[in-house]
Amino acid sequence: MKRFTFFTIGLSLLLIAFPALSGAKTVVELKDAQGKSVGTALVSQDGHDAVAVTLRVHDLPPGEHGIHFHQNPKCDPPDFKSAGPHFNPDGKKHGFDNPEGHHAGDMKNITIDAQGKASLRFAVSGVTLGDDAHSLFSNGGTAIVIHAKADDYKTDPSGNSGDRIVCGVITK
């Protein structure tokens, strides 16, 4: 009985110390510039310093597109500029190929198929759903934005990824 009590207390303390392990998640509705729903993104904690994104989208232009976490929890159409710049709590430059590091909100490009659909899951390291500065819930939330073109992974501040064509607010 003592072992079970100590195990339960230990597990509880671990979940308090590392909220990443507690299963935090949120579903984000994604809308295009006309306000039409074009899919969802399930954002969930994936380890201590990463989130998993399960993306399901439709009715988008086929091809490769940049996707980023942006700093403001706003998605005012038609240009979604209200989402602000990329989520960047460390003040780094843009792009995975940048020798000075990359924004925490930078993600790998996604590919939309010929029917305008994509269904994929990927991990993004350096961001959390906890209570720290790297939390996507900081500042009252953030946004996830899909761009018109592919990110070149080097050009600051946004990788020449073009217009913002899809946006969704990430909040608790």
94 in catalytic set? yes
58 in catalytic set? no
65 in catalytic set? no
Active-site residue, from 65, 102, 103, 134 = 103
The DSSP result for 101-170, as a single string, is ---TTB---EEE-TTS-EEEEEEEET-BSSSSTTBTTGGG-EEEEEESS---SSSTTTTT--SEEEEEEE
Active-site residue, from 32, 46, 106, 151 = 106
156 in catalytic set? no
- Quick one: DSSP state of residue 133? T
Alpha helices, DSSP H, located in the chain: 2-17
102 in catalytic set? no
Active-site residue, from 32, 46, 94, 102 = 94
Active-site residue, from 32, 65, 147, 151 = 147
Active-site residue, from 86, 102, 134, 151 = 86
- Token duo for residue 141: 């939330």
Active-site residue, from 68, 102, 134, 151 = 68
70 in catalytic set? yes
> Active-site residues: which are they?
68, 70, 86, 94, 103, 106, 147, 164
